[in-house]
Structure 1
Amino acid sequence: MRSKNQSPVNTKIIILGLFFLLLLSVIAWSSSSSFIAENDDLSDSAAAAACPSLPSTPTTCTKTPPSLANALVHYVTTSVTPQQTLKEISVSSRVLEKKSPCNFLIFGLGHDSLMWDSLNHGGRTVFLEEDKRWIEQIREKLPTLESYHVTYETRVNQADELIESGMGR
């Protein structure tokens, strides 16, 4: 008695599986194409939001804003750990998402300063810093940031007293 060769059955299963994968990829591709076509008006408004100073046609906004490009290169090439947590950064980021471009005042110049300046693209971001040497170090690396030296006449341990005073108590 001759044993049956299982090879033709396995080949049929493989071919059937490949056919279904091809069919699924065609369906997925056609669905994504129709989704993009149906939402072309959304891409126009997204382009206008990304380039508020330009006309709202998507073809006029094809480049990444220089501030964003500089920030991306800076953060991709640095190994510095952020000074704030994601939760802390998210608070200010959500405000900038709604309000930018705007006038944005930041107390302290940090490793995250370029990010804040970039998130306020088209607005004015000003940093106030107490340490002159730190300002010089940052200006060497990031000369486009607008920063000013300040001398505070109060200290953190006076915070409660100053808050009470400001509230008129």
Structure 2
Amino acid sequence: MRSNTPNPISLKFILICLFFLFLVFLVLRSSLSSSSSQQNSSLISALYPSSIIATESYLEQNQSTTTDTLAPTCTKISPSLANALVHYATLNITPQQTIKEISVSLRVLEKKSPCNFLVFGLGHDSLMWTALNHGGRTVFLEEDKSWIEQVKRQLPNLESYYVAYDTKVTQADELMEVGMKEECKVVSDPRLSQCGLALKGFPSEVYDIEWDLIMVDAPTGWHDEAPGRMSAVYTAGLMARNRESGETDVFVHDVDRVVEDKFSKAFLCEGYLREQEGRIRHFTIPSHRARLGRPFCP
């Protein structure tokens, strides 16, 4: 009886054919995969510009660097600002100027500070002005000795000087006529001026410094027997004109009152007026020494 076992030669041939077909399958699969990858790359390139892909790659590579750059840093606030924060956080008295009025001077200080800032008047807002002019020199001129001593006990670092005034609000019309005389149109050091409105009793260094900002918020001017701000406004304008070069920003508060209104327009000049907000006016007065022949008012 014959055996049912396949012929060994036929079996070997079948195995070789299967192996050959398997190799062909692998080659075709690899080729298809490569072709698909190239198609995908082409599709991505078409859909997304190369600059975007490059940017994404850059951000991935520099992610750690960007994170380090954006990390917050710890710095201390200035001592003047720290003192101001504590002072006003514990003070129940509101400064005389409104926030809109203060903002007029603040905008100038943001550009010019640290600078030289002269203030007629020592008040509850004095520490604020000093803090806003951090790194600069802020000087206050005050008519009341007892008030200076009281403020110094609380805020010993403020620089203030006593100033005596010999005028009264009732003399305003008379002093306006004085200011219209030719000797009051001459630009010079107030100590050498022949004008009866020029104040000559300040400490010498007040005259020697070129002030970038001058705030006239004193002396007292709300009643007839008060000194009034006639001479203060005129002298502020004279000091601004007498600087070597550049310009001085002069602010006058309480311009809703007759004296402050008339004297600021006459001696700081409406042509130099830059802004009015509420009761404060801002004038920008250029040096008259840098340009000889410039008229007192434009």
Aligned ranges 1:13-162 → 2 under 5 Å: 62-159=75-172, 161-162=174-175
How far apart are residue 147 of structure 1 and its match? 0.3
> Which amino acid is the alignment partner of residue 163 of structure 2?
V
How far apart are residue 118 of structure 1 and its match? 0.3
Q: Per residue, is there more helix in 1 or in 2?
A: 1
Question: What is the count of residue pairs matched by the alignment?
Answer: 116
The separation in 2 between residues aligned to 1:165 and 1:62, in whole angstroms, is: 54
The separation in 2 between residues aligned to 1:94 and 1:131, in whole angstroms, is: 30
Tell me, what secondary structure is at the counterpart of 2:117? Answer: strand
How far apart are residue 80 of structure 1 and its match? 1.0
The gaps in structure 2 that reach 5 residues or longer are 1-65, 183-298
> Which amino acid is the alignment partner of residue 149 of structure 1?
Y
Q: 1:158 to 1:103 in 2, by over 3 A?
A: farther
Aligned CA-pair RMSD: 2.8
The separation in 2 between residues aligned to 1:166 and 1:92, in whole angstroms, is: 27
The separation in 1 between residues aligned to 2:120 and 2:178, in whole angstroms, is: 21
How far apart are residue 163 of structure 1 and its match? 4.8
The separation in 2 between residues aligned to 1:99 and 1:155, in whole angstroms, is: 34
How far apart are residue 96 of structure 1 and its match? 1.1
Identity %: 75
Tell me, what secondary structure is at the counterpart of 1:122? Answer: coil
